Chains A and B, each alone.
Chain A
Amino acid sequence: MEDVLDEVVSSEDLQKFEQVFHEQLHKGNITHKAQFEYAWCLVRSKYPTDIRKGILLLKELFNSHPDGKRDYLFYLAIGNARIKEYNKALHYVKAFLEIEPANQQVLTLERQINKRMEKEGLLGMAVAGGAVLAIGGLVGLGIALASSKK
């Protein structure tokens, strides 16, 4: 656990807030509070489908409840970063920083997203490099075997 992007919600919490949300949904009267609490748990799930659902709920809140905009922007950035939609995540971070340019919590999140992009870019290259080496090795082995059979 190194930063907020690593944090995973417990299944009991997810179930608890899901239940409240669904009860309100059936009654046809969903409060901002219940929707936000459920969305906040969803974006911290280990399953991308949950995270995407959380993002949808947050977007809905963002458009319907101006008072909570900074909270919704923040968790929209976290949700998108967790499904590796880094450009979208940075877009929400920028929107936030336009309103509060010196917010340390959001500046930290921005650094963490950039760090992940960088790390994964390098990791991608390392995997490709490893594959080239492996193929090279196989070809070399093939040649060695072919020549030894002669």
Chain B
Amino acid sequence: MTSGPYNYSYIFKYIIIGDMGVGKSCLLHQFTEKKFMADCPHTIGVEFGTRIIEVAGQKIKLQIWDTAGQERFRAVTRSYYRGAAGALMVYDITRRSTYNHLSSWLTDTRNLTNPSTVIFLIGNKSDLDGQRDVTYEEAKQFADENGLMFVEASAKTGQNVEEAFLETAKKIYQSIQDGRLDLNAAESGVQHKPAAPGRPLAAPPAHRDNCAC
């Protein structure tokens, strides 16, 4: 019997943040449904999505909180930052103002998450290269200066969308392996599920003490 889709070893919590209209919900939708949502209305409050992925042979469930970009939701959506293992910070490559606001989003993220939270910068709408208002090089430099991972992506074509979500998970998983992320910390944003129900139990370790040899 193979393990079903409901068996996973870890849960990682993500948040998606950024200005209104940069395509946060479309990125989430593209990642969870593999479809582009045209004419996406403004999100109310927060939206929630999940998907199970695999990193280094381990199944990981991503619990993703997609926050509304409109200012009137900002006070309450701040509480969703707490305990996020990954933060996807999104701007629109065709609207400079959404890029200029990144430092304020970054300050919020740094203040409200923990030092091990992985922050991934996404320049969305890469399919609209003709209307570009922010160069790749400039954003890359901003990302490097602030220690962020970075790609340009398109929720419309799906380009680099998988990569952004998966690379974030790989980095988080790496932090666990290196011991930089403490699984027992209340707000690490990671839950370990050592014995998921319905999962065949691993063979008990051999008892060396009882070994007569």
Q: What is A's interface to B at a CB cutoff of 8 Å? A: 1-4, 7, 9-10, 13, 17, 33, 36-37, 40-41, 68, 70-71, 74-75, 100, 102-105, 108
Tell me the smallest distance from the CB of A134 to a CB of chain B, in Å.
Answer: 25
SS of A interface (majority)? helix
The answer to whether A37 and B39 have CB atoms under 8 Å apart is no
Tell me the smallest distance from the CB of A5 to a CB of chain B, in Å.
Answer: 10
Which residue of the partner chain, among A4, A40, A70, A102, contacts B76 with CB atoms under 8 Å?
A: A40
The answer to whether A33 and B39 have CB atoms under 8 Å apart is no
With known contacts A1-B63, A7-B48, A105–B43 Cβ distance under 8 A: yes
7 examples of A-B residue contacts, CB within 8 angstroms: A33-B72, A33-B75, A37-B75, A70-B44, A75-B45, A105-B25, A105-B43
Tell me the smallest distance from the CB of A119 to a CB of chain B, in Å.
Answer: 16
Chain A residues near B41 (CB-CB < 8 A):
100, 103, 105
Which residue of the partner chain, among A9, A33, A71, A104, contacts B29 with CB atoms under 8 Å?
A: A104
Tell me the smallest distance from the CB of A41 to a CB of chain B, in Å.
Answer: 7
The total of chain B residues at the interface (CB under 8 A) is 19
A3 vs B44: C-alpha distance in the bound complex, in angstroms? 15
The answer to whether B44 and A71 have CB atoms under 8 Å apart is yes
Q: Which 9 A-B pairs have the closest CB atoms?
A: A74-B44, A13-B79, A4-B48, A71-B44, A103-B41, A37-B76, A105-B47, A40-B76, A37-B75
Closest-by-CB residue of B relative to A70 is: B44
The answer to whether the Cβ of B37 comes within 8 Å of any Cβ in the partner chain is: yes
Chain B residues near A75 (CB-CB < 8 A):
44-45
A74 vs B45: C-alpha distance in the bound complex, in angstroms? 9
A100 vs B40: C-alpha distance in the bound complex, in angstroms? 11
The answer to whether B48 and A3 have CB atoms under 8 Å apart is yes
Chain A residues near B44 (CB-CB < 8 A):
70-71, 74-75, 105
A40 vs B76: C-alpha distance in the bound complex, in angstroms? 8
A75 vs B75: C-alpha distance in the bound complex, in angstroms? 16
Q: What is B's interface to A at a CB cutoff of 8 Å? A: 25, 29, 37, 39-41, 43-48, 50, 63, 72, 75-76, 79, 82
Chain B residues near A36 (CB-CB < 8 A):
72
Chain B residues near A71 (CB-CB < 8 A):
44-45, 72
The answer to whether A40 and B45 have CB atoms under 8 Å apart is yes
Chain A residues near B47 (CB-CB < 8 A):
4, 105, 108
Tell me the smallest distance from the CB of A113 to a CB of chain B, in Å.
Answer: 15
With known contacts A17-B76, A33-B72, A102–B45 Cβ distance under 8 A: no
Tell me the smallest distance from the CB of A45 to a CB of chain B, in Å.
Answer: 13
Tell me the smallest distance from the CB of A137 to a CB of chain B, in Å.
Answer: 27
Chain B residues near A74 (CB-CB < 8 A):
44-45
Closest-by-CB residue of B relative to A78 is: B45
Tell me the smallest distance from the CB of A139 to a CB of chain B, in Å.
Answer: 34
Tell me the smallest distance from the CB of A3 to a CB of chain B, in Å.
Answer: 6
With known contacts A103-B41, A104-B29, A104-B37, A41–B48 Cβ distance under 8 A: no
A71 vs B165: C-alpha distance in the bound complex, in angstroms? 29
A27 vs B47: C-alpha distance in the bound complex, in angstroms? 34
Chain B residues near A7 (CB-CB < 8 A):
48
A104 vs B29: C-alpha distance in the bound complex, in angstroms? 10
